[in-house]
Structure 1
Amino acid sequence: MTTATAPVSPPRSFIPALEGMRGMAALGVLVTHVAFQTGASGTPVIGPILERFDMAVAIFFALSGFLLWRPHAAAAHGLGRAPTTTRYLLHRVARVVPAYWVVVVFVLLLLPGAAHSANLRVWLSNLGLQQVFVPLTLTDGLTQMWSLSVEMAFYVVLPLLAWLVVRLRGPAARWRVPVLCGLIAVSLTWNLWPIPTPDAIHADNWLPAYLPWFAAGTVLAELIHLVRPEVRWARVLSNKPLMWALALAALLLSATEFGGPAGLERAHPWQYAMKMVLGMIIGFGLLAPLVIRRPGTANRWLESRTAAILGRWSYGVFLWHLVVLTVVFPVFGIVPFNGNFLYVLVLTTALTLPLAAASFALVEEPCRRWAARWDRRVSAARVERETEPVESSPTR
């Protein structure tokens, strides 16, 4: 019997380093928006790199791909059961929607500019996470939510993807990685096709364009069950300095023309495809050594108390940082696109973190606990039905 280089974690086990990585990704998104709105992204050399901190979205997508696909991969390898679609969707909605709705309502009612232009179409498309499909509905304080719209689309599609490969179980499970790699190859051609869209809507902001970033995580979820000491690639994937250097190289390359033009200028289709490849490398490279670990290795910073707190608050940081950034400029008398990057970064971070903490404590965690209680009630009712004695029919 072969032994894995690292124990295969149960399908829903908690990996602390991933929570820390989620916190770092949230700060990366904050940094790239501050750099853009202060004009720092136009600074020679460092500016293009700061602008490409938006590749932190690739980390978010890869994390979602790994964590949500892991139970399905474990089930295919005979380790546990995949969640029912109802249970899965309930937890996704409870995790994402309530805290998001709080921000949307706040922005569309109270944020100057956004509230003034918020018509019924803007309200419905933002509440329904349909901004990438409805023209002219991205608004101040909520422009980053395009990625949440894409992520929600992935949540809806994931059960279908799992169903398509459900027969690849047991010995046939080794074919799941090639199938997922085939999905990556196909999705990389998305931006090469003339997809008809309404004015001001671009199909490169839809889920098929970003499937490679999610697939980076789903492939990792499969690979953790295929790791064996005699396989050289297992030692490579668990080598943190090597894999993180690869991710850094992909980030630096994305800051060139291969990642597309600077600012809001639209990229060529080949640049979109290349950006997807580079984002996939970043997500895969950063996460691989965290989930395929060498024995005795540790991730001291990512598993620290500070990183854990940032990870718990990461969703709130993502939701609220643009609201804060929009307010910081007029309140502190700072002219947008005119410098003060570090000053604005410190102010935005300092004001966003308390809002994120409140979002976690008052909205996100209570909704998560409610979903967990619902789970326990349903499970208890199912066990009661299964163990209830069946009355025998009277004989004549």
Structure 2
Amino acid sequence: MPVSGREPALTGIRTVAAATVCLTHAAFWTGHYTDDYAGRLFARFEVGVTLFFVLSGYLLFLPWVRSLRAETGVHPPLRRYAWHRIRRIVPAYAITVGAVYVIFAFRTDSSDLGHGVSGLIRNLTLTQVYGFGHLHTGLTQMWSLAAEVVYYIALPVIAWPLARYVCRDRWRPDLLIAVLGGLLLVSPVWTFATHGDGVDPTARLWAPAFASWFIAGMLLAVVAQLIRSWPATLSVAVAVGAFVLSAGAFAGEATIVPNDADAAVAKHTLYAVVAVGLIGPLIVGSPDWWSRLCRSRPMVWLGEISYEFFLVHVMVLEFVMDLLGYRVFTGSVLFAFVVTSAVSVPVAWVLHRATSPLWR
């Protein structure tokens, strides 16, 4: 998720991603994932995960694109890339997982999933999505991080052959777009394969199911070198339209992966349109209203701690439900969202400050 040294507007858009993820979880916990348009719309705020994935694909593939443009034959150093990813991701994550397990050593958990040493190991190693029963309360959102670390590992595996053998270390955007465009099919193929009989249902949450979002970000890194403008108002309008459309019944029920494969593909495709529509105008650096908003100080500041916010907000939501006197699947989604955000921000800031010396 987190990548440092980026365009401020791309940091600011992470605030939108984190806020929407928090909102959809608040909606779920307060019982607003209902089987109607409003319930599906609340669920679709999970699109923030797509924003994170597309951003990662763009930012992590960009150094490869720049090296190809330079045509020096020098590729981004793998060891440095891996070490930076580990330093940025692992410390804050490990602290969060450890804290949650300590909390539930004293707090009653309504679920028995993910407990014990095996559950702790699963969650620490981000293998909790492989097989049923390992998603611990307070850490259920980490399924997306488990998928994203697979993309971190896969990126050089994809990028190096692209640069060395497909492009021959030359700037060939046509070939990059063709190959990456083909790789977009990985997710729909995986979706149809995992919706068949006799397939582990947790496979629907594995990295290939959402790979098209990461690849869409990689495509943006290529396209950014070819264009000079991206109309912000039209692009944001298309993104909003795709988001509103995604809540239609054709895109499935209020859940991460709908039970119908066609619905799952439709929903994931619309999410990609939303993310590209919101991020696209920011990659060209135009001085439009959307870029100015995303690079504003509050947005950038919150974007800087968005990873830590993502890590802690579900555990905070647990306490907020108690604080507000809400039983599970009851209460105001607005109050739950606002209070959870208000508490999560300072907690995330402390976690960010505590771990930043390890990666800066």
Q: Counterpart amino acid of 2:282?
A: L
1:146 corresponds, among 140, 143, 147, to 143
CA distance in 2, matches of 1:198, 1:74: 44
CA distance in 2, matches of 1:71, 1:65: 11
2:93 corresponds, among 81, 96, 100, to 100
Tell me, yes or no, if structure 1 residue 366 matches structure 2 residue 357.
yes
* Distance change in 2, residues 1:124/1:350 (3 Å): same
2:102 corresponds, among 109, 121, 125, to 109
Tell me, yes or no, if structure 1 residue 249 matches structure 2 residue 229.
no
1:83 corresponds, among 42, 66, 76, to 76
CA distance in 2, matches of 1:285, 1:264: 21
Cα distance, 1:198 vs. partner?
9.1
Cα distance, 1:89 vs. partner?
0.8
User: Secondary structure, in 3 states, of the residue corresponding to 1:188?
Assistant: helix
TM-score calculated relative to the size of structure 1:
0.82
Tell me, yes or no, if structure 1 residue 164 matches structure 2 residue 161.
yes
Residue 284 of structure 1: aligned partner: 276
Q: Counterparts of 1:261-280 in structure 2 under 5 Å?
A: 261-263=253-255, 266-280=258-272
User: Secondary structure, in 3 states, of the residue corresponding to 2:254?
Assistant: coil
Q: Counterpart amino acid of 1:53?
A: F
1:316 corresponds, among 294, 302, 308, to 308
Residue 174 of structure 2: aligned partner: 174
- Where structure 1 has 5 or more consecutive residues not aligned to the other structure, the ranges are 1-11, 228-233, 370-396
- CA deviations 1:10-47 (Å, max 9, x no partner) are xx962110100011100110000001111233396443
Determine if contact 2:14/2:52 at 8 Å carries over to the other structure. Answer: yes
Instruction: Give the structure with higher Rg (CA).
Output: 1
- Where structure 2 has 5 or more consecutive residues not aligned to the other structure, the ranges are none
Q: Counterpart amino acid of 2:22?
A: L
Cα distance, 1:264 vs. partner?
7.0
CA distance in 2, matches of 1:226, 1:99: 37
> What percentage of aligned pairs have identical amino acids?
34
CA distance in 2, matches of 1:366, 1:54: 31
Cα distance, 1:102 vs. partner?
0.6
Q: Counterpart amino acid of 2:277?
A: G
CA distance in 1, matches of 2:199, 2:184: 28
Q: Counterpart amino acid of 1:174?
A: D
- CA deviations 1:94-134 (Å, max 9, x no partner) are 11111001110111121324597621220111000001114
CA distance in 2, matches of 1:143, 1:263: 13
Q: Counterparts of 1:314-393 in structure 2 under 5 Å?
A: 314-363=306-355, 365-369=356-360
Cα distance, 1:346 vs. partner?
1.8
RMSD between aligned residues: 2.3
Residue 121 of structure 2: aligned partner: 124
Cα distance, 1:207 vs. partner?
1.1
Bigger mean CA deviation after superposition, 50-59 or 77-86: 77-86
Cα distance, 1:82 vs. partner?
3.5
CA distance in 2, matches of 1:330, 1:208: 37
* Distance change in 2, residues 1:75/1:137 (3 Å): same
